[in-house]
Amino acid sequence: MNNINLDEYIKVNIGPSHPAMHGTLRVIAWTDGETVMHCDPEIGYLHRGVEKLGESFTYHQFIPLTDRMNYCSAINSNVAYEAAVEKLMGVEIPLKAQLIRTIMCELARIADHQVCVGILGVDLGAFTPFFYLIIQREEIYEIFEWYNGARLTNTFGRIGGVENDLPADFDARWKELKPNLFKSIDETDKLLTHNRIWMDRTIGVSAFSPEDALNWGFTGPCLRACGVKRDLRKDEPYYQYANFKFDVPVGKNGDVFDRYMIRMQEMHESIKIIDQAYEMYKQLPPDAPLMAKVPKIIKPPVGEVYSSHETPNGELGFYIKSDGTDKPYRIKVRPPCYMIYQAFPELVQGEMIADLVACLSSLNVIAGELDR
């Protein structure tokens, strides 16, 4: 807001309860006609004090709280938290658990990207692709439901491994799901990517330079859309990601269109990863261990740790400080969209109000994760 006299402009309040503001986000925009001159996002409407609660819970009890952060892909949050505690304890989980986590994480990533792309379409007035994607997302949720009974708040995995093996008919379900996923992505691609209206509404909207993106702490698809090739699955490989062949799609301009394209391509890459992980999984004996040897009451040694995973939105990190008791002394979540959303005033400055909505959906800001 360099040297802008805000009193000259009309103040428009958008949200926190508004169909276009995903969840409970509030933006106060100062507008000149329809142009946004400056805006001030206000967050905290969904602040539930997860970090404070975590200090009074045991390590295992915190896992359900991580479900409620990014509710579009809860499994990724669960796994990122479990991995942080495992790093703190110095536990290496068995290969089979790693592969099951990988498969589930990538399924959740596809589901998350489907929601993001679908909602982006809805916000820009393209309602049809949303249904193509959401039908297949429902099928992914069927797999989650049949794995442990929950669709959205999965509470997947345990510290030291996973609770269940993949049931025997995963093979059949995946064979049925895979072509449908391809089909839904393909149909969306045909409906949107080369659509004149879609291109006009997305190309060049809220473009961001890679330098700015790094300065603001962007990670995940939003950073890759700016042209920076950074993916924790490649750069700091965890589990078996180093052995899988997959590409990291990179954009160029960092605009809404590039973010959309990155997400579309990443869904294809995730399907590739699931295939390879499942091949590897099939080589393992059926009675291979699912859990590492961890005590029933988890008391990690004194110290602090920072561990991060690549979730659909970017780098989700957990900073955990342990004082040797069964409860964490301090848990800090580093949500990916928190960092991305703080650059929002800079992203939408000079854009139209309608583009503000498009920009917000393309960032995939999840209020649960943002406010914790």
Instruction: Output the DSSP codes for 192-219.
Output: HTT-HHHHHHHTTTT---HHHHHHTT--
Phi and psi angles of residue 17, each rounded to the nearest 5 degrees, phi first: -110, 90
Instruction: Give yes or no for residue 44 binding other proteins (CB under 8 A).
Output: yes
Interface region with other proteins, contact rule CB under 8 A, candidates 20-28, 133-141, 152-160, 302-310: 302-310
Radius of gyration of the chain (CA): 21
* Cβ 319 to other proteins shortest distance, Å: 5
Instruction: Give yes or no for residue 329 binding other proteins (CB under 8 A).
Output: yes
Instruction: Give yes or no for residue 222 binding other proteins (CB under 8 A).
Output: no
The three-class DSSP label of residue 316 is strand
Instruction: Give yes or no for residue 12 binding other proteins (CB under 8 A).
Output: no
Could you say which of 319, 349, 352, 354 contacts other proteins (CB under 8 A)?
Answer: 319
* Cβ 338 to other proteins shortest distance, Å: 6
Of 289 and 324, which CB lies nearer to other proteins in the complex structure?
324
Instruction: Give yes or no for residue 295 binding other proteins (CB under 8 A).
Output: no
Instruction: Give yes or no for residue 294 binding other proteins (CB under 8 A).
Output: no
Instruction: Give yes or no for residue 305 binding other proteins (CB under 8 A).
Output: yes
User: Which residue in this structure is represented by tokens 């995995």?
Assistant: 157
Using DSSP, how many helices (H) and how many strands (E) does the chain show? 15, 6
Pairwise CA distance, residues 55 & 343, whole Å: 30
User: Which residue in this structure is represented by tokens 């439901």?
Assistant: 145
Residues in the chain: 372
- Tokens for 348? 């939408």
Residues 190-219 that bind other proteins (CB under 8 A): 212, 214-217
* Cβ 217 to other proteins shortest distance, Å: 3
Number of residues that bind other proteins (CB under 8 A): 44
How far CA 281 is from CA of 104, 267, 367, in Å, comes to: 13, 21, 35
User: In the 8-state DSSP scheme, what is residue 302?
Assistant: S
Residue of 95, 96, 160 lying closest to 294 (CA atoms): 160
Of 145 and 212, which CB lies nearer to other proteins in the complex structure?
212
- Tokens for 57? 């819970």
Strand partners, 31: 10, 36
Instruction: Give yes or no for residue 235 binding other proteins (CB under 8 A).
Output: yes
Could you say which of 167, 295, 324, 350 contacts other proteins (CB under 8 A)?
Answer: 324
Phi and psi angles of residue 14, each rounded to the nearest 5 degrees, phi first: -120, 125
Instruction: Give yes or no for residue 342 binding other proteins (CB under 8 A).
Output: yes
Strand partners, 317: 308, 334
Interface region with other proteins, contact rule CB under 8 A, candidates 59-67, 165-173, 266-274, 321-329: 321-329
Burial class of residue 31 in the structure, from the number of CB atoms within 10 Å of its CB (0-12 exposed, 13-18 middle, 19+ buried): middle
Task: Give the CB-side neighbour count of residue 144, counting CA atoms within 13 A.
Answer: 28
Could you say which of 47, 151, 178, 183 contacts other proteins (CB under 8 A)?
Answer: 47
Of 134 and 305, which CB lies nearer to other proteins in the complex structure?
305
* Cβ 220 to other proteins shortest distance, Å: 13
Pairwise CA distance, residues 341 & 101, whole Å: 28
Instruction: Give yes or no for residue 68 binding other proteins (CB under 8 A).
Output: no
Instruction: Give yes or no for residue 4 binding other proteins (CB under 8 A).
Output: no
Interface region with other proteins, contact rule CB under 8 A, candidates 46-54, 66-74, 271-279, 349-357: 46-54
Residues interacting with other proteins, by CB under 8 A?
Answer: 43-44, 47, 49, 51-53, 55-56, 87-88, 90, 212, 214-217, 228, 230, 235-236, 302-306, 308, 315, 317, 319, 321, 323-325, 329-330, 332, 334, 338-339, 342-343, 371-372
